[in-house]
């Protein structure tokens, strides 16, 4: 199968060490379904990258160790950036942390924009909750 068209699992992380749990869940899903593993960090533009370098380096290494790749995109619109990236890599599954409760949270906006992509949300306690694709598209 052409790796460019191969289905993928997209793991969206923030620049925090404990996002490694998301990458590990993404890797399990990717291996069980013979998909590629992609990790994405969308971060607002910053002037001093050194403030986030150790966390990003750790997540990059975790991604590589588990057979995935990691991309960092600096943009203020994280949900739309993630949807665009998901389309580019043929993502068939999103893995992310838990929603923050806001009406315009990353997960809700991503789901509204790409309702066909299932979302696995991993809690700090490593419990995975699933949001299935919408059957009705608005």
User: Mean of the pLDDT values across residues 31-37?
Assistant: 97
Residue 1's pLDDT band, with cuts at 50, 70 and 90, is: very low
In a domain, 72, yes or no: yes
Which among 120, 112, 59 is positioned nearest to 83, based on CA atoms? 112
Write out the DSSP string of 82-110.
HHHHHHHTTEEEEEE----S-TT-HHHHH
In a domain, 69, yes or no: yes
pLDDT digits (tens, 9 = 90+) for 84-116: 999 999 999 999 999 888 878 899 999 999 999
Kindly tell me if the per-residue pLDDT of 27 is higher than 80: yes
**Which residue range is the domain that position 97 belongs to?**
8-131
Give Cα 90 to chain centroid, integer Å: 13
Which among 11, 22, 36 is positioned nearest to 127, based on CA atoms? 22
In a domain, 136, yes or no: no
| CATH number for the domain harbouring residue 20 | 3.40.50.620
User: Mean of the pLDDT values across residues 121-132?
Assistant: 94
In a domain, 49, yes or no: yes
Structural domains counted in the chain: 1
In a domain, 1, yes or no: no
What's the chain's length in residues?
Answer: 138
């Amino acid at each position: 199968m052409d790796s460019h068209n191969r289905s993928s699992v997209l793991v969206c992380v923030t620049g925090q060490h404990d996002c490694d749990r998301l990458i590990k869940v993404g890797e399990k899903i990717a291996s069980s379904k013979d998909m590629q593993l992609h990790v994405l960090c969308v971060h607002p533009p910053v002037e001093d990258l050194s403030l986030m370098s150790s966390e990003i380096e750790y997540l990059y290494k975790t991604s590589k160790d588990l057979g995935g790749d990691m991309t960092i995109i600096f943009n203020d619109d994280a949900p739309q950036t993630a949807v665009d990236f998901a389309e580019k890599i043929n993502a068939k599954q999103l893995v992310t942390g838990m929603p923050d409760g806001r009406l315009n949270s990353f997960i809700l906006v991503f789901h509204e924009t790409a309702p066909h992509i299932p979302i696995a949300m991993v809690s700090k306690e490593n419990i995975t909750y699933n949001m299935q694709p919408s059957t009705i598209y608005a």
